[in-house]
């Protein structure tokens, strides 16, 4: 689809996904929660519930990436956040509890690696521990500094 820049493109994308088509698209946001919020904000309040339902049914994953300067200065490395739209996430989207998505993402990242989810902060911490990213640089790119610090403390 390319970038979703208007309600018509988003509506078409959601309809295609709902009917079983595999759809890839881009949207400029900072994180998975921001992606859902941005999609919903394109629509008037009278259509919010309908779009929440469509999004909860048609969404499979949200993958966010930031290209962060490598520690050795030879370029950039992708730091990623992945949200798997499992039953719990779909329910939060459908009921409009978008602010709880990050907590769900954190919980599933810690307790259920099979859910194939990761927060930006956890991935940044992994890159620092693998000596691919400088600690101060990682702090700059974290969406939630306290979550990044917690991720750095974990094994």
Q: Is 2 exposed, middle or buried (0-12, 13-18, 19+ CB in 10 A)?
A: exposed
What are the residues facing 69 on neighbouring strands? 76
Domain boundaries, the chain: 2-153
pLDDT of the residue at 1: 81
Mean pLDDT of 82-93: 93
State whether residue 141 is helix, strand or coil: helix
CA 65/CA 120 separation, integer angstroms? 8
| Closest residue by Cα to residue 153 from 134, 132, 136, 128 | 128
- pLDDT over 90 for what percent of the chain? 74
Mean pLDDT of 27-33: 91
CA 97/CA 134 separation, integer angstroms? 35
Supply angle C-alpha 128, 131, 136, rounded to 5.
45
Mean pLDDT of 16-33: 90
Superfamily classification of domain 2-153: P-loop containing nucleotide triphosphate hydrolases (3.40.50.300)
pLDDT of the residue at 110: 60
What are the residues facing 125 on neighbouring strands? none
The band of 111, judged by pLDDT with boundaries at 50, 70 and 90, is: low
């Amino acid at each position: 689809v390319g970038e979703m820049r208007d309600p018509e493109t988003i509506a078409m994308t959601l309809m295609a996904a709902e009917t079983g088509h595999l759809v890839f698209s881009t949207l400029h946001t900072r994180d998975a929660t921001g992606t859902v919020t941005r999609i919903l904000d394109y629509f008037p309040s009278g259509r919010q519930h309908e779009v929440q339902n469509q999004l909860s049914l048609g969404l499979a994953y949200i993958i966010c990436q930031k290209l962060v300067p490598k520690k050795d200065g030879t370029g950039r490395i992708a730091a990623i956040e992945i949200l798997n739209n499992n039953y719990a996430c779909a329910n939060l989207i459908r009921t409009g509890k978008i602010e709880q998505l990050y907590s769900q993402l954190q919980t599933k990242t810690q307790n259920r690696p099979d859910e194939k989810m990761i927060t930006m902060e956890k991935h940044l911490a992994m890159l620092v521990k693998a000596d691919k990213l400088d600690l101060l640089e990682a702090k700059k790119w974290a969406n939630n500094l306290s979550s990044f610090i917690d991720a750095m403390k974990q094994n």
